[in-house]
Amino acid sequence: MDVMQQRPYYLTWRPSTFLGRVFALAFALSLFAVLLVVSVAAVFLTLVALAVYVGYGWYRSWRFRRTGITNITRHPDGGLVIDVVPERETVDRRR
């Protein structure tokens, strides 16, 4: 028989007994469960990372607004000039 006329070889496994089919189904379901757990964990970690990123950006902007810094420029001789507005009177709401 010529090589070009041979049927392609596929690796297949078909359980012939009932117990083999039960084991095959259990194996397939366990693989599906592992895939599901891994994908849910990946989505959860992505959401946590996004929340931390957004929260840290919000915290930095809040801290920047809280300091009262209005303008940062470069000094001609080198360095930075930070223009700071005097702190406003804060209202103590605990009273």
Q: Report domain extents, the chain.
A: 39-65
Read off the pTM: 0.50
Distance CA 51, CA 60 (A): 14
pLDDT at 93: 53
**Is a pLDDT exceeding 90 seen at residue 50?**
yes
pLDDT digits (tens, 9 = 90+) for 6-15: 777 777 777 8
How would DSSP label each residue in 14-50? ---SHHHHHHHHHHHHHHHHHHHHHHHHHHHHHHHHH
Q: What percent of the chain has pLDDT over 90?
A: 37
Check pLDDT > 70 for residue 3.
no
Q: 74: phi > 0 → left, psi -120 to 50 → alpha, else beta; which?
A: beta
Which one is predicted more confidently, 66 or 28? 28
